[in-house]
Chains A and B, each alone.
Chain A
Amino acid sequence: MTAIGIQLGIIVGYLFLALAIGLLAYRVTERTAEDFYLASRSFGTIVLLFTTFATLLSAFTFFGGPNLAYAQGPEWILVMGLMDGIIFAILWYVVGYKQWLIGNRHGYVTLGEMLGDRFGSVGLRGLVAGISLFWLFPYVMLQQMGAGAALSGLTAGALPFWAGAALVTVFMIIYVVLAGMRGIAWTDTVQGAFMLVITWVAALWVLDAVGGAGAATAAVAESNPEFLALGSAFYTPEYMLSTAISIGFGVAMFPQVNQRFFTANSETVFKRTFILWPVLVVLLFVPAFLLGTWAAGLGIDVPAGENVVPILLNEYTPVWFAALVIAGAMAAMMSSSDSMLLSGSSYFTRDVYRPFIDSDISDRREDLLGRVGVVVFATATFFASLSQPGTLIEIGDLAFSGFAQLAFPVLVALYWRRTTLSGMYAGIGGSQLFYLLSVFTPFVPATYFGWNASIVGMLLGLFLTVAVSAATTAAADERQSRFFSGVDR
């Protein structure tokens, strides 16, 4: 059997394994929206931790990150630690735990639903959902493009880009439509554990072959001494902080992550998950990104457009093992995309369809509509991804930063009683408008003294939310008590 045959066999085998788990979950899924989207708020520590973790990781962990560490040095480890191990962990408590308390009390399924109810505004609910769907679109495309490129690269073009993207899209659709949140979380748990183990085995295998970490790092000191010194012309403090802050805050507003805040089955689950974040970040990203840097010292040659990790592993480990790692990367892309599709569909049915089109829809019909929504959204992103409108990194950064603009208005609303509906409209609308103009027009600059426009937009959103709230009074149907006590008014 050829190397390509083994690799494709392992990847397709993985896809079927995921499908089998999805079918198993289907058997215990009830036909209601709360079960389809939130698995009836039943998740324990391991499942919630790994499903969030697996959802966060995309192809970046195995491809993009190590490629960057190979080309520029391993400083991304620090960015990742600050972003996910500290900023996101704190938001896990500050945004996540608070949302969980509120969501449990009032039965919310989405962020827009929660905010819309608090501020007595269907318009705000629709706006938050619309903005989220807008930024979700490029991010789902990104996964399809990543999968298409990985499969066509693997088969040396025998499987064209569109066919690879289509294969993964079809699998995702079948899978999300059948399994819902429960199936996704179960496979995510398997995938998260798999990625962690495979990364360590890969690092230890390579280190064993080259004589240990000391020898590998010494080789880097010979070939690229600048990689070992902290910072460079590429890794400036402004770049590292801008990236860590905007992605860290963006992650908490991602529909598929934000919605998981509603799924914990108890407070204990939140506590344990909170503690384990930094541990998981160290365990995964340190070995994954160091592999890329060590590859530079070992003289691994990476042709343009290819990824360093598969090449390194092909050099030092057997073919079947390198294929397992690629399957792990495919797993990462799939687990991000299926969750996004599911959350996107719930934002559409609950925050757009129900309030604006048909408010009397039954639970069963909403459940059906959600599944149809997944098919429509995934098909649309698939066709858009065929034109490959940008690089993976550009599109990813665009989407994360777009979501980050939502973070401060939401935080202010969660913690400041005097936040008003006008303040929310100003904060959300103003920061989105500013960021959209900076991305799509030449009139608003993209960087400010080395800081990204997304950071400036976030601060603008914070300022507008607070200033306009302070200058206006709450409308009659705003309900502060929704966020601030157990008592309904």
Chain B
Amino acid sequence: MATRLRRIGWALAFLSLAALGIPWFLWGVDTVLLGLPVWIWWHIGVMTTATLAFWLFTREDWGIWIEPREDPRLGPEGDSSGDDRGGDGL
């Protein structure tokens, strides 16, 4: 069940991936490691991390932010959302 902590945690995790997609701290660095510039290895590392993070997300918290949840603070027009967490068509 998606708690508030998880909702915020995943948002921060995804934002960090985006923020670190380009290694700003390696700006101007031209070190070569195993035949490739070191920042290309960084890129490969970030993409691998993203894959693992996405995998974990689909296992643990898929549906977060999207599928209906018990939340008393629905908007003024909110339909009484008593439905079964569903809508996922299954």
Q: Point out residues on A near B: beta carbons under 8 Å.
A: 74, 77-79, 81-82, 85-87, 89-90, 94, 97-98, 101, 104-105, 212-214, 216-218, 221, 225, 228-231, 237, 240-241, 244, 266-267, 271-272, 274-279, 281-282, 286, 290, 415, 417-418, 474, 480-481, 484-487, 489
Q: Tell me which of B21, B37, B67 contacts A82 (CB under 8 A).
A: B21
Is B40's beta carbon under 8 Å from chain A?
yes
Set of chain A residues within 8 Å of B43, measured between Cβ atoms: 77-78, 81, 282, 286
Shortest distance from the beta carbon of A70 to any chain B beta carbon, whole Å: 15
Number of residue pairs spanning A and B whose beta carbons lie under 8 angstroms apart: 149
By beta carbon, the residue of chain A nearest B25 is A230
> B27 contacts A98, CB within 8 Å?
no
Whether the Cβ atoms of A229 and B55 lie closer than 8 Å is no
Within the assembled complex, what's the spacing in Å between the Cα atoms of A489 and B83?
Answer: 13
Selected from B37, B76, B90, the residue in CB contact (under 8 A) with A228 is B37
Q: Find chain B residues with CB under 8 A from A474 CB.
A: 77
Chain A residue, CB-CB nearest to B30: A229
Q: Is the interface of B mostly helix, strand, loop or mixed?
A: loop
Q: Mark B30-55, 1 if CB is under 8 A from A, else 0.
A: 10101111011001101110110011
- Residue pair B78, A82 in contact (C-beta under 8 Å): no
Task: Enumerate the 3 nearest inter-chain pairs by beta-carbon distance, A residue then B residue, closest first.
Answer: A213-B35, A82-B21, A229-B30
Residues A87 and B78 in contact, CB atoms below 8 Å apart: no
Whose C-beta in chain B lies nearest to the C-beta of A271?
A: B58
- Could you give 29 example pairs across A and B, Cβ below 8 Å? A77-B40, A86-B14, A86-B17, A94-B65, A98-B66, A101-B89, A105-B87, A213-B35, A217-B37, A221-B30, A230-B28, A230-B39, A237-B22, A237-B27, A244-B21, A267-B89, A267-B90, A275-B55, A276-B51, A277-B54, A278-B54, A415-B65, A417-B75, A417-B77, A480-B77, A481-B79, A485-B68, A485-B81, A485-B87
Shortest A229–chain B CB gap in Å is 4
A225, B30: Cβ atoms closer than 8 Å: yes
